[in-house]
Amino acid sequence: MADSFKLQMGRILRKVDGRAATLLRATALETLSRIVQRTPVDTGRARGGWEVAIDATPPDSSDVDASGGATIARAAAVITGAKAGSSIVIRNSVPYINMLEYGGHSPQAPAGMVRITVQEIRSIVDRAAAKAKREG
């Protein structure tokens, strides 16, 4: 009887962990995608500068990506490895990224990229939760 309970609890925990991981990955990918697409484009360096890591500081990037597609694909490959309880870190090491975010230096993103996305986090999580529920 104790073994049966233990097996049942193990199945429940795996299902919960799976849903939590799906929620985490979907939230991170949508957040990163919005930030990248909102990043102003001149040369594409700022947009290509977004990097992601799991439970670590992301590496510096000197990529140029005017469309943002390659940056999002690169991040998605990393995010796929996230497990429930992981920390996903999004960073941009381009020296002028703070000026773009806070300085109003670009008419393409006068209110920044990250700040706007953070204001939308509730709707991003809600969409990710609906996706996790469908996939669970």
Which pTM value belongs to this model?
Answer: 0.87
What pLDDT shows up at residue 2? 63
* Residues 130, 52: Cα–Cα separation, whole Å: 24
What pLDDT shows up at residue 17? 76
Residues 52 and 135 sit within 8 Å (Cβ to Cβ)? no
DSSP letter at 129 equals: H
Q: Which residue type occupies 121?
A: I
pLDDT in tens, 71-104: 999 999 999 999 999 999 999 999 999 999 998 7
Ranges of the chain with pLDDT below 70? 1-3, 10, 12-13, 136
What pLDDT shows up at residue 136? 59
| Residue among 88, 85, 66 nearest 77 (CA) | 88
Positive or negative torsion for Cα 68, 99, 59, 123: negative
Domain segments of the chain: what residues?
2-135
